[in-house]
């Protein structure tokens, strides 16, 4: 039940985007209704967990650069229809806020997106997607996908998380050592590349890891580690656009690649098959 009386919950707008502001004894968070998109999370006496571009477009229907975009029901380009938006349509559509509950561990919000005539023209399957966001000592996201159609479908998704760092040159990502990956910048090398050291970005980095372990750490000298737990997400992506791609993107300031890194979790390699009437879920827990 959504009532303004729910302590620590308020509705505002940023640019032209309606957002939910959460403030409790553990942390503050901001979530845009479009895409059920977590824009910010910061623990009391902590530092911002997520990076949000100072040039993010806050306009209805436009992808927001930063926070945790939810890519669904495909990842990267649509497999066959090039005119469709990259990373699916879920992040560009308004989700419905179904519930906000305040309890001893923080706030729990339930957002919902259901198929309709518009989505069916882009993806011919009936579905219900729910994103449960828990704002407490940790930030927890659980995506639940239900196949409400009478036929099976395959989907991909990503928690496309942009993390706030001080300096990419001082940052390493551990947890993906010896895990096979596809370098999206050199696809000709195939998807069985591996490295046995922690990742240090020294140029544009765009890697899709499969059969990943679901426990990753962003480590930067002098900063609190960022811990990413996503046990039932089979794949991971590490992305930093570096100089040239940043200039091409149009919603990132020139030097901002230095203070962000994406470590994404989800189903980005082989699609997940969901039988008619079935439901599946994927949980990610973030902390810093
Ligand atoms: O997850 C990495 C990636 O697929 C990159 O290739 C880059 O395209 C990035 O996502 C951002 O995509 P977007 O559509 O949000 O600009």
- 282 closest CA partner among 124, 155, 109, 181: 155
Band of pLDDT at residue 4, cut at 50, 70 and 90 = low
Distance CA 85, CA 76 (A): 9
* Furthest-apart CA atoms within the chain: distance in Å: 56
In the 8-state DSSP scheme, what is residue 193?
A: B
SS3 assignment for 23-85:
ECCCEEEEEECECCEEEEEEECCCCCCECECCCCCCCCCCCCCECECEEECCCCCCCCCCCCC
Report the residue among 71, 163, 208, 239 best suited for mutation to probe ligand 1: largest number of ligand atoms under 8 A from its CB: 239
> In the prediction, which pLDDT does 1 show?
56
With a cut of 80, say whether residue 26 has pLDDT above it: yes
Measured CA to CA in angstroms, residue 166 lies from 88, 215, 267 at distances of 30, 22, 29
For the chain, what is the mean pLDDT? 96
User: Could you report how far apart the first and last alpha carbons of the chain are, in Å?
Assistant: 30
- Omega cis (within 30) before 213: no
Does residue 66 register a pLDDT over 80? Answer: yes
Contact (CB, 8 A) for 215 and 237: no
Distance from Cα 69 to the centre of ligand 1, integer Å: 10
Confidence check: pLDDT of 117 > 60: yes
C-alpha count within 13 angstroms, C-beta hemisphere, residue 162: 24
Q: Which atom of ligand 1 is nearest to the CA of 160?
A: 1
Q: Where are the alpha helices (DSSP H) in 91-240?
A: 117-122
Distance 237 CA to ligand 1 centre (A): 10
| Ligand 1 binding pocket includes 87 (Cβ within 6 Å) | yes
Strands 106-114 and 171-174, bridge-based pairing:
unpaired
Annotation marks residue 117 as catalytic: no
Residue range 170-205, pLDDT digits in tens: 999 999 999 999 999 999 999 999 999 999 999 999
Grade residue 99 by pLDDT with cuts at 50, 70 and 90: very high
Mean pLDDT of 31-42: 98
Which phi and psi angles does 262 have, rounded to 5°?
Answer: -95, 125
Question: For the whole prediction, is pTM greater than 0.85?
Answer: yes
Q: What is the pLDDT of residue 79?
A: 86
Report residue 23 as tokens. 């403030």
C-alpha–C-alpha distance, residues 120 and 136, integer Å: 36
Distance from the CA of 149 to the center of ligand 1, in angstroms? 29
Angle at 183 between CA 177 and CA 184, to 5 degrees: 145
Strands (E), the chain: 9-14, 17-23, 27-32, 37-43, 70-71, 96-103, 106-114, 127-135, 139-147, 153-159, 162-164, 171-174, 181-183, 205-209, 215-220, 226-229, 235-240, 260-274, 279-287
Give the position, in ligand 1's atom list, of the atom nearest the Cα of 239: 2
The residue whose CA is least distant from atom 9 of ligand 1 is 239
Per-residue tokens: 32 = 């845009």
Cα(216) to centroid(ligand 1), Å: 20
Q: Which atom of ligand 1 is nearest to the CA of 65?
A: 15
């Amino acid at each position: 039940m959504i009532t303004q009386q729910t302590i620590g919950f308020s509705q505002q707008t940023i640019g032209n985007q309606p957002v939910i502001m959460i403030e409790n004894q553990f942390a503050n968070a901001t979530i845009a209704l479009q895409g059920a998109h977590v824009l910010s999370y910061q623990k009391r006496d902590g530092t911002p967990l997520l990076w949000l571009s100072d040039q993010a477009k806050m306009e209805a229907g436009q992808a927001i650069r930063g926070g945790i975009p939810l890519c669904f029901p495909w990842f990267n380009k649509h497999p066959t229809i090039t005119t469709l938006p990259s990373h699916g349509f879920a992040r560009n559509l308004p989700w419905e806020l179904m519930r906000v509950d305040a309890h001893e561990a923080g706030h729990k919000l339930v957002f919902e997106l259901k198929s309709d005539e518009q989505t069916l023209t882009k993806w011919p399957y009936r579905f219900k997607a729910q994103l449960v966001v828990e704002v407490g000592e940790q930030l927890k996201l659980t995506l639940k996908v239900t196949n409400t159609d009478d036929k099976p479908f395959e989907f991909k998704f990503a928690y496309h998380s942009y993390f706030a760092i001080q300096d990419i040159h001082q940052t390493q990502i551990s947890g993906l050592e010896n895990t096979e990956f596809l370098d999206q910048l050199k696809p000709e090398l195939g998807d069985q590349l591996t490295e046995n050291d922690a990742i240090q970005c020294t140029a544009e980095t765009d890697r899709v890891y499969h059969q990943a372990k679901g426990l990753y750490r962003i480590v930067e000298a002098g900063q609190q580690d960022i811990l990413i737990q996503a046990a039932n997400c089979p794949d991971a992506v590490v992305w930093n656009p570096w100089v040239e791609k940043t200039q091409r993107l149009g919603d990132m300031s020139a030097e901002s690649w230095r203070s962000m890194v994406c470590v994404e979790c989800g189903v980005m390699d082989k699609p997940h098959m969901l039988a008619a009437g079935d439901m599946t879920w994927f949980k990610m827990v973030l902390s810093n």
